[in-house]
Amino acid sequence: MPAERALPTPEAEDLVAMVRAYAASELAPRVAQAEAEHRFPRETFAALGELGLLGMPYPVEYGGGGQSYEVYLQVLEELGAVWASVAVGVSVHVMSCFAPSLHWDADRRARELSTMLGGSLLGAYCLSEPHAGSDPAALRTVARRVGDGYRISGTKAWVTHGGEADFHLVFARTSDDRARGISCFLIPAGADGLSAGEPERKMGLTASTTAALTLDDVAVAEEQRVGPEGDGLPLALRALDSGRLGIAAVAVGVAQAALDHAVAYAHERETFGRRIIDHQGLGFLLAEMAAAVESARATTLEAARRRDRGLPFSRQAAVAKLVATDAAMRVTTDAVQVLGGAGYTQDFPVERLMREAKVMQIFEGTNQIQRLVIARALTRPR
């Protein structure tokens, strides 16, 4: 059963319905094979770009879709329910365009941002490092001033689209100041000294390429710095607030898909002369799964509505990411249990959904970090 939604406009209803139909007809038949082959579906991102889905929350005049985050996240959820690797890729691409959308002037947004959002290009967000994941202020990639530009050296870890992206939003240290010593740079693929390692061998999201990125004295011009020098860390954290909402939405989609498969199976499977859904023990488990999905969706959309209204939403984004991804892990695990032995096989997608849900508790800030963000917010004066 599809999710029941209360979308803000008829146009939004049409958009979500279109994406749901597209995902069912064009994505669903390809998911299992692409994931089994660990094959990055670049052509899918080009198609999504043609549909206007790679720039949904950005202004129309700069090539975006002009959608609110409330609508954008529900589109992401529909994609995530069918193919999480693709939905995560859309979320990462949207996050990679955040800094340029804030700091470029109108002419450059119209000229370059519109190309980045159009589907022919794919972005990567390069913040984490081998020793600096949950603590981005500890990053060691260095951007040295050389003439009228910079030379950047270092290693970035866990880069979604690593080796596949056309442009990279790279955060590098421009001074020793922990909080104000990091700057942001936009580096195109193919830059001399920029290379990607072998893709990581992951338990889930196997069609989403993740790799380390090495920068060996990469030359960048002054105009490739995004925003003022030293403003990189606040900019990265602002982008992560929105990125966490994207991951929360994908997690809700994964959980919804697991619930749908479990309910369908429980209607068909019989034991002791009754459908298993009619046994109270199983019925109550499915009810708890449904409650978890709807609670996660509501929490995520409340944070999105705050963002849309220009209200502070960092704490709410952390809550949404925590609640939605924990719910996805619990619901997908329970879905495997509902299907029993069948759920443990690759004949049904619930085992894949469970593997995909796990990483969502980890990236864009582990859920332990989300708890830290929430706890710190509670200590501030009101």
Q: Are 104 and 244 in contact (CB under 8 A)?
A: no
Closest listed residue to residue 217, CA positions, set 141, 147, 163, 148: 141
CB neighbour list of residue 279: distance below 8 Å, 6 or more residues apart: 271, 272
343/43 Cα distance (integer angstroms): 30
Q: Spell out where the chain has E strands.
A: 123-126, 142-146, 149-160, 167-173, 182-188, 194-196, 210-221, 270-271, 274-275
Catalytic residue among 78, 351, 356, 364: 364
CB atoms within 10 A of CB 129: 21
For this structure, is 78 an active site residue? Answer: no
**How many residues are present in the chain?**
382
Give Dmax (Cα) for the chain.
80
CB atoms within 10 A of CB 282: 18
Q: Give the catalytic positions in this structure.
A: 364
